[in-house]
Amino acid sequence: MEYRQTDAPPSYDSVMNQNTSPPSYPSLQVLSATQIQPYYIPQPTPQIPAPCVVETISTQRRHVLSYKSKRCCYGGSGGSAFVVVLLIIAVGLGVHYGSSLWTLSGKDKETDICTPSSVNCDGKRDCSRGSDESRCVRFGTANELQVMTSKAGSFLPVCAQGWSKSIADQTCQQLGFRQSYAVDVLQSSSSAFQSLNSRFSNTIQGSVNISSSCPLQQTVSLWCCDCGRPPVSTRIIGGAVAAEGQWPWQASLHFRGYHTCGGTLVAPDFIITAAHCFPQEISDYLLPSNWQVYIGMVSQLKLPSSYNVKKITIHENYDPDTKNNDIALLILNRPVSNIQPACLPVFGQTFSPGSKCWTTGFGVTSKGSDSGSIFLMEVAVDLIDLAVCNKPTVYNGLITETMQCAGDLMGGKDSCQGDSGGPLVCKADDRWYLTGVTSWGDGCGKKNHPGVYSNVGRLLTWIHGKMQQERP
């Protein structure tokens, strides 16, 4: 995180506890000029040793070992060749294998096999991984529940009549949440609706029928969890160290005991992070057992108990060269309780250029620094219009629709190496929404080179789809 301003915040050193000597960072990469390749993020990101390095590493080694021993059941000591043969046979037979086996193999391997007569959003699962039924629900303004059915062919609001807590819970569970949080009734001006059938059958899209009206035009607004409202709302004025509880959804992803990337809790079982945190060419990064997730803490010296990763899902169309679709979803081994997730934006929600948003992370605090930050750092950034960010003097056309620039064109306020995968959040209606995922940039804090974030609003269909497919 880079932070320079004229009305200067306290320097990093001045906010550090002077009595605590920072641990040495033996394996850290120095962010040198040669590493700052324009438009490309050097990988892997810097690694901050956890204070309990020995213990953490030994625990993780146990995980790795048990993982490997499981794999031996598939592959034996002959290893990879046999696994490859197995995979080929599996695809050939259309066998639906356990998810972690696929994850191991990296992206593009999650073949979803569909029946020839597969129909999307008819409530019947025709594909082995359920992709035909995973993009049929979304939320509109005011969290209006909108359902697509094969018959309607478009997203329509759902009539409030007949709605119950049980249907709300089942719908939220379909979307990857544990239960529902709140239901409201909206006054709709729509001219077509979905009305509930008398029986709920598995999915919400399988339980509604198209209708030209709703009683009193009342439709359902559904919340699957409370989100985006931190318990603490004060912050260190002008400073850059985050107050405890300010950004509870912030995750620190440790690869073999070292902070490597940020992440954001978006539901009790799910973390959103960046695809580039899992370089495809290094298979170790794709092993869930090599990762530990810490959530809600503000110091790498005070780690809470960790979560294991059950599965890493990387966007199928992530392009490591352009960083397009730089997003990944982690499912945790157990649900997080008592920590507020950030809200996911609703469909069509926009944050206008110039919106005040914040990005947070444990990344390096100045160019050339050889270590990440022990403390969670925060910085206010402005959203920057796509066309401005694509100007020849800025990123000269490299910014796609699934990216969002944020920072300050004058330089100084930026995320940096090690912040990757972490949140860019913007406030609306008193809640913080995950607007971006820290992705890349030409250096850090440089004039005319703001931070580039994955555009969460543009990747919502992917996020909801995967949360449904991977639901706990």
Residue nearest to ligand 4AZ (CB): 441
Closer residue to ligand 4AZ (CB): 140 or 361: 361
Minimum gap (Å) between residue 2 Cβ and ligand 4AZ: 7
Residue 80: in which H helix or E strand, if any?
Answer: helix 80-93
Minimum gap (Å) between residue 324 Cβ and ligand 4AZ: 16
Burial class (CB in 10 A: 0-12, 13-18, 19+), 132: buried
Task: Establish whether 326 is a catalytic residue.
Answer: yes
Which residue, chain included where needed, has tokens 């598939």?
Answer: 74
Cis link prior to 44 (omega < 30° from 0)?
yes
Opening angle at CA 413, ends 408 and 417, nearest 5:
120
| C-alpha to C-alpha distance for 171 and 79, rounded to whole angstroms | 42
Q: Find out whether 453 and 403 touch, Cβ atoms under 8 Å.
A: yes
Per CB under 6 A, does 444 bind ligand 4AZ? yes
The number of residues that bind ligand 4AZ (CB under 6 A) is 14
- Binds ligand 4AZ by CB under 6 A, chosen from 56, 60, 438, 455: 438
The one-character DSSP state at 279 is: -
Task: Establish whether 299 is a catalytic residue.
Answer: no
How do strand 2-3 and strand 413-414 relate by DSSP bridges?
antiparallel
Closer residue to ligand 4AZ (CB): 137 or 426: 426
Per CB under 6 A, does 296 bind ligand 4AZ? no
Q: Which residues are CB-neighbours of 145 under 8 A, at least 6 positions away?
A: 137, 139, 157, 158, 171, 204, 219, 220, 221, 222
Helix, coil or strand: residue 468: helix
Per CB under 6 A, does 440 bind ligand 4AZ? yes
Minimum gap (Å) between residue 340 Cβ and ligand 4AZ: 25
**Which residue is catalytic, options 326, 408, 419, 442?**
326
Minimum gap (Å) between residue 350 Cβ and ligand 4AZ: 22
Task: Establish whether 315 is a catalytic residue.
Answer: no
Alpha-carbon dihedral sign for residues 254, 260, 265, 271: negative
Closer residue to ligand 4AZ (CB): 41 or 425: 41
Closer residue to ligand 4AZ (CB): 3 or 177: 3
Per CB under 6 A, does 453 bind ligand 4AZ? no
Closer residue to ligand 4AZ (CB): 152 or 312: 312
Q: What tokens were used for 96?
A: 């639906």
**Which residue is catalytic, options 63, 276, 315, 464?**
276
Minimum gap (Å) between residue 453 Cβ and ligand 4AZ: 9
Q: Which residues are CB-neighbours of 192 under 8 A, at least 6 positions away?
A: 152, 154, 156, 210, 211, 212
Q: Which of residues 404-433 bind ligand 4AZ (CB under 6 A)?
A: 414-417, 419-420
Contact pattern for ligand 4AZ over residues 33 through 72, marking x by CB under 6 A? --------xx--x---------------------------
The one-character DSSP state at 241 is: B
Catalytic residues: 276, 326, 420
Footprint of ligand 4AZ on this chain (CB under 6 A)?
Answer: 41-42, 45, 414-417, 419-420, 438, 440-441, 444, 451
